[in-house]
Amino acid sequence: MREYVVTQWRGLARVVDTEPVRSADGEIVLVNGKPKYPPPIMIRRWAPTKARAEEATKRVAWGKLDDLKRVRRTQREADEAVRAADQAAREAANAPDPTTVGELLGRWRTGLHDPSNKLHESTKDDYEAGIRSLLGEPPRPIRGGRERPRSPERLAMAQAFEPVAAMRPADVDARTLMDLLRSIADTNGKGTAIKVRSVLAHVWDLAMEDRKLGVQLNVVRALRGTESNPVIRDRTRRHRA
C-alpha cells in the first residue's frame, strides 16, 4: 500500500479573447463562414496550498486580461487614427483649391516673361501694359526716364479688380466680370478694358488646366461680343451735327 502526500497545488485558468481575428486590411477572418478567434491562453500556477495556487493563477489571468485590453485599446486608437487620416485626405482631395484669380494672374505674368515664351515682344508689352493697368501699377518709364506716377484712373481700376482678384476663378460669374469690364471702360476707356479682358481670358485658360480649381468654362471668353467688341456699353454721348 502506497501513500501519496500532496506537496503542490495547481491552479488552472483559461483566458479567452472575444475579439475576432482580423486581416491586414481590417476585415474579420472567417472560417467556414464563422469568425475566427485567437486560441485561448492557458494559465497554470503551482503553490504549496490550494489558496495560494488559486491566488497566483487569478493574479496572472487578470494580468493577461489587462494586457489584452491594452492591446485592443491600442489597436482601436490606431484604427481610428487611420480612419481619421483617410477622412482628412478625402476631404482635402475634395476641398476646393484656394488659389485666387490674383495668384493665377501672377503665375501667368511670370510665364509671359519666361524665355521659353515665343510671343513677340510687342505682344508681351501689350499684355504687360494690361496687367499693370489692372493692378494699378504705374506705367513703364519712357525711354529710361523717371517712373510715371499712378493716375487716379489706374487706382480706381485696381480697386475695382481687388474683389475679383481675391475670389477663386470658379466663383467668378459672368455678371461680375461684365461689371468689372464696364467699370474699367468708364474710368480708363474701352481700349484698356479690351486689354484687360484679353489678359483675364488667358488667366482663365490657365485655371482650366488645373482640375483642382474646378473651372469648367472660360467665363471671360464666353461673354457676348469679341475681343475687339466686348460686352461693354458705350457710354460716350454722341451729338448730332
Mean pLDDT of the chain: 83
Give the pLDDT band of residue 22 (cuts 50, 70, 90). Answer: confident
Residues 13 and 61 in one domain: yes
Residues 78 and 153 in one domain: no
Residues 90 and 106 in one domain: no
Looking at residue 166, its pLDDT comes to 94
pTM: 0.57
Residues 214 and 113 in one domain: yes
- Sign, Cα dihedral of 178, 182, 188, 191: positive
- Does residue 27 or residue 56 have the better pLDDT? 56
Looking at residue 214, its pLDDT comes to 85
Residues 67 and 125 in one domain: no
Give the pLDDT band of residue 76 (cuts 50, 70, 90). Answer: confident
Residues 212 and 109 in one domain: yes
Residues 114 and 173 in one domain: yes
The answer, yes or no, to whether residue 188 has pLDDT greater than 90, is no
Among 69, 94, 119, which residue terminates a domain? Answer: 94
Residues 34 and 111 in one domain: no
pLDDT in tens, 119-170: 888 888 888 888 888 888 877 665 555 666 667 887 888 889 999 999 999 9
**Domain hosting residue 130, numbered range:** 101-222
